Amino acid sequence: MQKSLYGLQQSPRAWFGRFTNSMKAFGYQQSSSDHTLFIKHKEGKLTILIIYVDDMIVTGNNSIEKEALQTYLSREFEMKDLGPLKYFLRIKVLRSRHGILLSQQKYTIDLLNEVGMLACKPSDIHATENVKLSALSNQIPANKEQYQRLVRRLIYLAHTRPDLAYSLSVVSQFMHSSSEEHMKAVIRILQYLKSSPGK
């Protein structure tokens, strides 16, 4: 009875297998580096589809192919077109005459709020500037689960915040042996984010 109510564990895999076969039948190639990415080259033009659970993005420079793909997928699966991309995986997509802007401002504010640092004093410097972090055995250990969770959440911000890349590469080296000093460096990253959450 539970299986009929909630489905089988294999259901998502079976659905994705069916979706993959449908995309290949329509002339798309599945990427070997990301199995959720499908690409079609046609007459020198490119159409790309990427899927995440039940959300997908279709893009490219072949408007006729994009329309044909949408029609085909609507016939094969129950779906609807939500129009131009505005928000995907907590990344806001804004368009202007100058190009496309990706922002994770809401994600940043939500993160600061979740850790109780929405009202913290902002910092204009990066976390690891003039600070040498190391894994010494005589340091006070930090809460390992909290540290790992915070660093993982911050790493996701690096998609739109390349200014965090170096600091995050430093603090992520101590995921399995974090100390209070390492946690202070993570707190400094959060203070830096407070100074420019919409960057």
Number of domains in the chain: 2
Residue range 168-178, pLDDT digits in tens: 988 888 888 88
Give a yes or no: residue 58 inside a domain: yes
Determine the residue type at 105: Q
Asked whether residue 191 falls in the same domain as residue 109, the answer is yes
Statement to judge: residues 185 and 118 lie in one domain: yes
For residue 181, give both structure tokens.
């000093």
Where residue 60 falls (left for φ over 0; alpha for ψ -120 to 50; beta otherwise) is: left
Within a domain: 163: yes
Q: Is 98 part of a structural domain of the chain?
A: no
Domain that holds residue 111: 104-195
Helices (H) then strands (E): counts for the chain: 7, 7
Task: Choose the final residue of a domain: 51, 83, 115.
Answer: 83
Question: What angle (nearest 5°) sits at the alpha carbon of residue 108, between those of residues 118 and 145?
Answer: 85
Least confident of 11-15, 24-28, 104-108, 173-177: 11-15
For tokens 């928000």, the residue is: 87
Q: Do both 70 and 11 map to the same domain?
A: yes
Whether 92 is covered by a domain: the verdict is: no
- The answer to whether position 65 is within a domain reads yes
In this structure, the answer to whether residues 113 and 191 fall within a common structural domain is: yes
Tell me the average pLDDT across 50-73. Answer: 90
Is residue 181 packed enough to be buried (19+ CB in 10 Å), middle (13-18) or exposed (0-12)? Answer: middle
Q: Are residues 28 and 76 in the same domain?
A: yes
Q: What is the pLDDT of residue 196?
A: 87
Task: State which of 24, 49, 83 marks the end of a domain.
Answer: 83
Tell me: do 69 and 130 sit in the same domain.
no
Q: Assess if residue 40 is contained within a domain.
A: yes
Same domain, 113 and 190: yes
For the residues 79-95, what does the mean pLDDT come to?
88
| Share of the chain residues as helix, strand and coil, in percent rounded to the nearest 5 | 45, 20, 40
**Would you state the torsion angle of the CA atoms of residues 57, 153, 120, 194, taken in this order, to the nearest 10 degrees?**
-40
On whether both 142 and 173 belong to a single domain, the answer is yes
Q: Which two tokens stand for residue 152?
A: 């993982």
Task: Examine residue 94 and state whether it is found in any structural domain, yes or no.
Answer: no
Q: What percent of the chain has pLDDT over 90?
A: 42
| Same domain, yes or no: 128 and 175 | yes
* pLDDT for res 198: 84
Residue 2 has pLDDT above 60, yes or no: no
Assess if residue 29 is contained within a domain: yes
Q: How confident is the model at residue 5 (pLDDT cuts 50, 70, 90)?
A: very low
